[in-house]
Structure 1
Amino acid sequence: MALGLFRVCLVVVTAIINHPLLFPRENATVPENEEEILRKMQAHQERLQLERLRLEEEVAQLAAEQAAVEQAAAAGPPLSETGTAWDLWSTLCMILFLMIEVWRQDHQDGLPAECPAGDEDELPGLGATPLLGLTLPDKATLGHFYECCIRGATADAARTREFVEGFVDDLLEALRSLCNRDTDMEVEDFIGVGSMYENWQVDRPLVCNLFVPFTPPEPYRFHPELWCSGRSVPLGGQGYGQIKVVRADDDATLGCVCDKTKLGEDMLCLLHSQNGRGLPGGETEELLCASGSPYLDTMQVMKWFQTALTRAWHRIAHKYEFDLAFGQLDTPGSLKIKFRSGKCMPFNLIPVIQCEDSDLYFASHLPRRPSQGSPESSTDWLLSFAVYERHFLRMKSKALPEGACHLSCLQIASFLLSKQNRLTGPSGLSTYHLKTALLHLLLARPGQDWRAEQLDARLQELLRSLEKSLLEKRLCHFFIGNRKVPEATGLPPAIRRAEPLNLFQPFVLQRSLYRQTVDSFYEMLKNAPALVSEYSLHIPSDHASQPPKAVIL
C-alpha cells in the first residue's frame, strides 16, 4: 500500500510539473536563426520519444504486476479492498499522465511558425512596462503643457503657409512659361497636404508639403494601374501602382479591336503602327518612361522636375532677396529658402499624378520613413491618400463638439515621439502611424467622447491602441480595405474592396528594427510624465485650480 501511494504521488507531481499551462517556460528564448530552432526541436523530439518508451515500459510492468496479483488472488486468499483501490488509482493516474503528455506534444507541434508568443519571448522588455501603468499629469498640467509648448509652437503656421504658397505659385508660373506645351509636361496648381494643412504640425521647423500634379502633352495621357486591379504583385508591392503612357487615340489596353482580334498579315490597324503595341522607344524616353518600357519612371520624373525648377528659379531669382537651394539629398523635391540672416525655411514639392477622377495621387517620392519599404522598381509609384485624410479630418471636426481634443491628442503624441527621436534616434514609428491610429479611433468612438475635458483619457487610449498594434505587428491602413469608412468620403470602390494593408509589415521581417522601435516606444512612455511635468514647471498658482481651456483648431 505504501509503495502504491508513493507511486501515485510521484505520477501526480510529475504531471503537474510538466503541464504547460500551469508552469510555462518563462525563461525560454527564441533562437536567432532557423538552424538553432531545428536543432532544439529535434532534441526535444528525441526526449519525448525516450519519455514515451519509458512510460510504455512502466505500463507493461504495471500490467505484469497486475497479472501476477490476479494469479495470486486465484491461488490464495483475496487481497484487501484498500490495496485493490490504490492499484486502480495508480493505473488511472498513469493513464491521465499519458494523455497529458500526448496533448502537450500535439499542442507544441501545432504551433505556427510565426507564433506571436515567440516575439514576446524574443523581446524580454515587452511585458515589463505595461501601458496601463502610465500615469500622465493632471488635466490642468496637461492643458497648460499644451497651451505653452504646442499651441505656441504652431502660432506662426498660417504665416508660414501663406509665404510658401505665394512663392511656390510664382515659381510654378515661371516653370509653365518655360515649358513647350507641345512637347513638355504640363504642371497644374499645387495642393497642400500633411500636418501643416491638417492643423497638427508641432515639430520644428515648420514644413509645408505640396503636391504638384502634372499631365503629359497631347495626344498622350496617363493610364494608372493599381496593385489591386487584378495583376499579381509581391507583398512589398501593395500600396503601389504603375503609370502607363498611352496615346489619347490609342486605347491599346482599354478596348481597341486590334488588341482583341488577330489581324491578317496584310491588314493593319489605322490607329497603330505596324508593331501595333506601345510607343516607339524614342518617344517613351522623351515622355520620362523607363528604357524600353511604356511605364513612367520615378527617377526620370524627378530629374526632369528638378531641372525644370532650377530653370524657373533662375528666371525669377532677381525678384527676391533670398536664395533657393535643394535640401536633403535623400528626399528629391526637398527645397529650402535661405535668407540673408541665416534663417532657412524648408518645404517639399512632390510631383504627383492624379488617379483618374478621384482624390488619390501617385507620388514619385515621399519623405522617407524607416519602416517604409523601398519600391522594387523605379516604375512603382506610391499611392497617397493625403487629400482623403485631410477631407476626413475636416468632415469629422464638423461632427465633433466645439473644442474637440482629437487633434490635441495627436499633437501631444507627436511631440513626445519627436523628443524621443532626438534622444535615441529615429525608429520605425512615425507620425503617420500616430495619425493612422487616431483615424481608427475617430471612426470607432462617438463624437461626445472627444470633448476637451477628455484629453487625458483619449491620449491614454491612443497610446494603448498603438502599443497593441506594435505587439501584434499589425496596423491596418485606414482607407485600404476599410469598409467602415463613410461613403461620403468618395473613396473609389476598388480601394474599399482591396485586401487590408498592414503598415507594420516591415516589422515582421526586420527584427532589429522591431526591437529598436519597441524599446524606443516604451522609453517614450516612461519619459512622458517627466517630460510633460518639466515643460509645465512654471504653472501660475491660479491656473492649477482652473480647468484647461477648450482647444479650438
Structure 2
Amino acid sequence: MDSWVLWLLFLLSVVQYPQPMGDVLDEVMRLQMELCAKFQEQERIWLEWEVEQLVLMQSGASWRDLLWSALQPWQVWPFAGLLVLFLAVWFMWRKRSCEAEISGEEEKEKKKEEEEEDETWAYDLRWLLEERIQWPVQDLQTGCNRTMALINNFTTVLRRSLSGTFYPVLQEAIGFGSAFEGWTAREEEIVYQVLVPLTPPLGHIFHLERDTDQQKPGRNFRVRVELECRCPREYQGMNMLCFQHHPDVIRRRTRQPNLLDSLCTDSYLNVKKTVHWFCALVGATWRRLPQSRSWHLVLLPSKRSCNLRLTNGQETFQVKVLFGMQRHISDIFISSRYRGAQTPSTMWPETYAVAETKFFRHMARQVPQDSSHLKCLQLLACVLARKDFSIHSIKTIIMHLLHTVPVSQWHRRHFLLQLSDALEHLRLSLEKKHLEHFIVGNQRLPEEIRLPPDVQRAKPPNLFHGLAQDPAAHSQAMQAYLDLRHRLARVLAYGHC
C-alpha cells in the first residue's frame, strides 16, 4: 500500500506545472530526493522478500525431487528391504536382551529358591536326625576310654602277678565292636568289647591248627601247646633245664604247673578253662585297681568270655573280655567268641572284628565331618528285630557301600539316599541269596589293614548261604525285609526305634 502512494506522489510531482525558482525549487528537489530514497529502500526490501520466497520454493522443490527420485520403483524395494532387515535385527537383539535379562532374573530366583530349599531340607533333616529320632545318649568315646583304662590296669597288675609262672602272657587289650566304631544298636546298657591277645609263656609254643570240619560255620582253629626244647646243645652257654625233656624237674623246682597241666585238654588250649582262670584273677585283683574306689564290680556268668558289669550309683556299663591269638603279623585273630551251642571248648573261631573296627576308623578320617554312615547303620540296627537278620549282615552292607560310594556322598544331607541304598542292597542280596563277607578275600582294603595271605586269597564266604539251602527261611527273610521297611517308616514318622 505504501508503494502505491509513493508512486502517485512521484507522478504528480512530474506532471505539475513549473514552480518559481529559488528556495521553492530547492525544497521541491529535497522532497523528491527523499521520496526516491524511500522508494529505492522499499524496492530493496521487496526484492529481498521475493528472493527469499524463491529460495524457499526452490528448496522445497529439491526435497520433493530428491524424495521422488529415492522413491522410484526400482529403488524402493532395496531400500525397503534394508529397512526391514534393520528393524528385524534390532527386534531380535532387543528380544534376546529382554530374554537374557528375564532368564538372569529367573536363574537368580531359581538359585535363591534352591538355596532356600537346601536350607529348609538341611533343617528338616537335622530336625529328623537330632530331635525327632531318639538316639542313645551315652558318650561312646568316654566309655571306650574308660574301658581301655580299666582293662589295661588289669593286665598290668596281672602280668606282674603272673611273672615266674607258666600261664599265658596277657598282651595289651584291643577295643573292637560297635562302640569302638562309633555307633550302638540299642538304647539299653552298652557292652564294650575288648580282645586280650595271649602269647605262650616261657618254655611253651603255640601252634595254630586249622579245623577241617566243613560242617562247622566259618574258619576255626585249635591251639596246640607244645613244650619248648632248650637243651644245652640248642642253647650253648645257657645253664637251664629243658621244658620238653625235664618237665617233672621244672615242675618240682618251680612248684608251678606248666600250661599243659593247667589250661589244656589233650594238648590243646581250652577256652572255658582260660576264661575261668582269668575271671578268678580279676576277682582277686580288683581291690588293687584305682577304679575300685568309685566303681562296683560284678562278674557275670559266661563260658567263653569274661563279662564285667560296673556301676557307680549313676552310671552302668558292661565290658566283655575275649581272648585270642594273632595270626602272623596281621589284624586277624582267633578268639574265644561264641559260635553256636555245639562249639567245642578247644575251638577258637577266626574273627575279623579288629580289622572291621580299623576299617571304620580309617573311613572316619576320609568321610565328611558330619558323615551319615554311622547314623544310617545305627538306625537300621535300631529297628532290626533279632529274628530277622544278624546285625553283622547290616554292618557288612554299610561297609560295602563305604567302599564303593564316594566319601563325599556320605554328607548328612544325603542321609535318606544312603539309607535307601542300604535297603536296596539288602533287598538284592536277599533275592540273590548272596552277601559276600567284607574282609575275607578283599584285596582292596586300605594298606593299614593287614591280612594273612590265606585270608586275602580266600574266596569270600556267602553270609546268606543258609537262605539258599532253605526255601522256607528265604521266604521268612523276604517277609522280614518288608517288616523292616515298615518299622523304619514308622521310626522316620514318629521318631521312636
TM-score, normalisation: structure 1: 0.57
Superposed, which structure 2 residues align to 1:343-354 within 5 Å? 343-354=315-326
How has the CA–CA distance of structure 1 residues 318 and 427 changed in structure 2, closer, same or farther, with 3 Å as cutoff?
closer
Gaps of 5+ in 2: 1-120, 235-241, 247-256
Partner of 2:79: none
Count of paired positions: 355
Partner of 2:280: 307
Q: Does 1:242 align with 2:222?
A: yes
* Matches of 1:360 and 1:378, distance apart in 2: 20
Shift of 1:526: 1.0
> How many percent identity over aligned positions?
23
Partner of 1:409: 376
- Per-residue CA deviation, residues 183-217 of structure 1 (Å, 9 max, x unaligned), is 22221221111111111225232221111112221
Gaps of 5+ in 1: 1-137, 251-255, 257-269, 275-281, 367-371, 537-553
- Per-residue CA deviation, residues 458-492 of structure 1 (Å, 9 max, x unaligned), is 11111111122233332221111233434553222
Q: Does 1:479 align with 2:439?
A: yes
* Matches of 1:522 and 1:330, distance apart in 2: 36
Report which structure shows greater RCO (CA 8 Å, sep ≥6): 1
Of structures 1 and 2, the larger Rg is shown by 2
**8 Å contact kept, 2:296–2:310:** yes
Q: Does 1:206 align with 2:210?
A: no
Q: Does 1:157 align with 2:140?
A: yes
**8 Å contact kept, 2:368–2:407:** yes
1:359 is paired with a residue of what secondary structure? Answer: coil
* Matches of 1:516 and 1:481, distance apart in 2: 29
Shift of 1:451: 2.9
How has the CA–CA distance of structure 1 residues 191 and 249 changed in structure 2, closer, same or farther, with 3 Å as cutoff?
same
Partner of 2:200: 216
**8 Å contact kept, 2:333–2:352:** yes
* Matches of 1:218 and 1:145, distance apart in 2: 58
Which one of 334, 356, 364 corresponds to residue 397 of structure 1? 364
Partner of 2:415: 455
**8 Å contact kept, 1:474–1:504:** yes
Which one of 301, 305, 326 corresponds to residue 332 of structure 1? 305
- Per-residue CA deviation, residues 51-77 of structure 1 (Å, 9 max, x unaligned), is xxxxxxxxxxxxxxxxxxxxxxxxxxx
Q: Per residue, is there more helix in 1 or in 2?
A: 2
**8 Å contact kept, 1:427–1:513:** no
Shift of 1:428: 4.9
Shift of 1:393: 2.1
**8 Å contact kept, 2:132–2:494:** no
Q: Does 1:168 align with 2:151?
A: yes
Shift of 1:169: 2.8
1:311 is paired with a residue of what secondary structure? Answer: helix
2:194 is paired with a residue of what secondary structure? Answer: strand
How has the CA–CA distance of structure 1 residues 516 and 359 changed in structure 2, closer, same or farther, with 3 Å as cutoff?
same
Q: Does 1:357 align with 2:329?
A: yes
- Per-residue CA deviation, residues 395-451 of structure 1 (Å, 9 max, x unaligned), is 23333344332222212212222xxx3xxxx21522221111111112222333323
- Per-residue CA deviation, residues 245-264 of structure 1 (Å, 9 max, x unaligned), is 234448xxxxx9xxxxxxxx
- In the alignment, residue 273 of structure 2 is paired with which amino acid? Q
* Matches of 1:318 and 1:436, distance apart in 2: 36
* Matches of 2:343 and 2:471, distance apart in 1: 21
- In the alignment, residue 458 of structure 1 is paired with which amino acid? Q
**8 Å contact kept, 1:150–1:411:** no
How has the CA–CA distance of structure 1 residues 352 and 459 changed in structure 2, closer, same or farther, with 3 Å as cutoff?
same
Shift of 1:525: 0.8
2:416 is paired with a residue of what secondary structure? Answer: helix
How has the CA–CA distance of structure 1 residues 212 and 166 changed in structure 2, closer, same or farther, with 3 Å as cutoff?
same
**8 Å contact kept, 1:427–1:517:** no
**8 Å contact kept, 1:358–1:491:** yes
TM-score, normalisation: structure 2: 0.63
Shift of 1:455: 1.3
